[in-house]
Amino acid sequence: MKLYTLLPKGLKPFYEIELEKYRKEYTARNLKAAWNHLERAHILGQKYPFAHNFVHWKMLQFGFAIKSGKEILGQIPRLVFGGVKSFVGKIPVGNPGGANVPPLKPFPIEKELQDIFLKAGISSMPA
């Protein structure tokens, strides 16, 4: 069994760009766009426990900021178990990570993010 830990060097800049775009949109109070960048960061980082948990932490903070009980309650178990699932390579590929979707349901990965994985030298995602 392959154990995953840190983001690969080729993927890290793309993940960090999404987090920076999140911060800019959040600061500008463009909450829908901000959330979209968190979801994209989640998809890019979900295979790697530290990156995965960091995005769930940001999603939890977002839930508090917008006073969404559903998001807050939805992020707590994701924060607790998401990194563990990443560590052992058992993630729902493409899942955007919010409380508005089932936590274990895989989703198709949009073409732009598929291209990022390819650019980063990652040809497949674990099931």
Q: Where are the domains of the chain?
A: 12-119
Radius of gyration of the chain (CA): 14
> Is the per-residue pLDDT at 87 higher than 90?
no
Please state the φ and ψ torsions of residue 94, each to the nearest 5 degrees.
80, -5
> Is the per-residue pLDDT at 89 higher than 90?
no
b vs e for 56-69, b when ≥16 Cβ sit within 10 Å of the residue's Cβ? Answer: bebbbebbeeeebe
Q: What is the pTM of this model?
A: 0.93
How far is it, in rounded angstroms, from Cα 31 to Cα 62?
9
- Give every CB contact of residue 127 below 8 A, 6+ residues apart in sequence: 93, 106
Q: Is the dihedral of CA 18, 21, 25, 26 positive or negative?
A: positive
> Is the per-residue pLDDT at 69 higher than 80?
yes
pLDDT recorded at residue 124: 61
